[in-house]
Amino acid sequence: MVINGNWHNKKELPFIIAHEISHILNKDMGILYFTSDSSKSQIESNANAGAINILVDYCDKLGLARDNVVKFMDVFGIPANLEYMVVEQLKNK
């Protein structure tokens, strides 16, 4: 796993790291340049869901509040288009 520590938006790094860890946990293989858009989309969606789950578990283990969706997303740099996933994960945990 390689993470660009010079990423232009440092606030997104926690989510990016959790996303890449999720790829490893999902046993996703290699770079997705050679996959179709539909399978790539599903692989990325699964990694996003896994990343959110990792971050929710992190909060739970440290006793951090996670009752405010907007604040949770802001703290961990989760993209706005994933709000529906965050809402679902927070509701189900």
pLDDT tens digits, 29-84: 776 555 556 556 888 999 999 999 999 999 999 999 999 999 999 999 999 999 99
Closest by Cα among 89, 87, 91, 82 to 12: 82
Question: Residue 51: how many CB atoms within 10 A of its CB?
Answer: 26
Tell me, what's the pLDDT at 37? 60
Work out the angle at residue 21's Cα, subtended by the Cα atoms of residues 33 and 47, and round it to the nearest 5 degrees: 60
Tell me, what's the pLDDT at 32? 57
User: Which band of pLDDT confidence, cut at 50, 70 and 90, is reported for residue 11?
Assistant: very high
Q: Where are the domains of the chain?
A: 10-92
pLDDT for residue 89 is more than 60:
yes
User: Which band of pLDDT confidence, cut at 50, 70 and 90, is reported for residue 1?
Assistant: confident
